[in-house]
Amino acid sequence: MNSRLNTVWRTLLLLFCGIVALWLVAPSLVVIPLSFTDRPTFTFPPEGWSTQWYANFFSDPSWMAALQASIQVGVLVAIVATVCGTAAALALSRTRFFGQQGLRALLLAPMLVPVIVIAIGLYALFLRLNLLGTTFGFVVAHSVLALPFVIIPVMASLQGFDRRLEDAAAICGAGRWTAFRTVTLPLVAPGVLSGAVFAFATSFDEVVLSLFIQSPYLQTLPVRMYSSVTRDTDPTIAAAATLILALTTVVTVLASIYATRRRNVG
């Protein structure tokens, strides 16, 4: 009787989770058929099908430049945020010092503070430092937003890490860097990889902050999409949105598969 009741509750829970997931994902999935419409305006459901908007996207130099800029900035942000976030997570989880909780709150603040507030502050700072519209400025600004998404999964991985393994490596003659590179990093790699994926996705999807620090010579894909919406209703923007959705989904799925395999091997 209890097993049957548990099965029923489990089925209802899975059904509820499926409905919630569909409710959250459905608005994004609507973009996909819109990108294949044969009309020059948004009509749902599409009356005809065509790939002309994808051809328009890949043949337009401004769209391709925006896509290249987003990928370049996203990769650099993933590297910078992952390195800095992993180091911060190690410091917060391995040491105890005065003001530690305050520092932790400060590092995680970009998740709670409205992006528009951060954007205004960085705009004023970058304007003084002449960093507006530069790749370096984009990487620094996006890394600020991405840093908490690296710290949290890395710290979660470190919670279950057995530090006696590092002690064993030290006994065998390994230095701190060698022990970290050969023992600690491989074991917390799923958390580090998850943080890198979240950092890339955060940078690739960011539009509010990018609007403040853009220039006519450097625009990311979300900013280019926003500019397109304000000027016209060309379905090319639906094709761009579908490509963003596909890219982030593929990256996330591949990272999840890798993390799952590492966890199973471990």
Domains and CATH numbers, the chain: 68-244 (1.10.3720.10)
Helices and strands: H and E segment counts in the chain:
14, 0
Give the pLDDT score at 243.
84
**Residue 250: predicted pLDDT:** 81
Helical axes 189-205 vs 135-159, angle rounded to 10°:
150
Among the listed residues 265, 244, 245, 263, the one whose alpha carbon sits nearest the alpha carbon of residue 255: 263
Is the dihedral angle over the CA atoms 203, 208, 209, 214 positive or is it negative? positive
pLDDT at position 187:
77
Mean pLDDT of the region 47-55: 81
Q: How does pLDDT run across 74-105, given as a tens digit for each residue?
A: 999 999 999 998 888 888 877 777 777 887 88
Packed helices 61-94 and 100-108: angle between N→C axes, nearest 10 degrees: 170
Distance of CA 109 to the CA centre of its chain: 17
For residue 30, the model assigns a pLDDT of 80
pLDDT number for residue 185: 76
The predicted pLDDT at position 263 comes to 62
pLDDT-wise least confident of 151-160, 171-180, 189-198, 240-249: 171-180
**Mean pLDDT, the chain, as a whole number?**
81
Asked if residues 142 and 79 have their Cβ atoms less than 8 Å apart, the reply is no
pLDDT band at 262 (very low <50, low <70, confident <90, very high): low
C-alpha torsion 223→242→142→196, nearest 10? -170
Q: Report the share of the chain in percent with pLDDT over 90.
A: 7
Residues in the chain: 266
Q: What per-residue confidence (pLDDT) applies to 266?
A: 54
Tell me the per-residue pLDDT of 190-241, one tens digit each, with 9 for 90 and over: 788 888 888 998 888 888 888 888 887 888 888 888 877 777 667 888 888 8
- What average pLDDT score do residues 229-254 get? 79
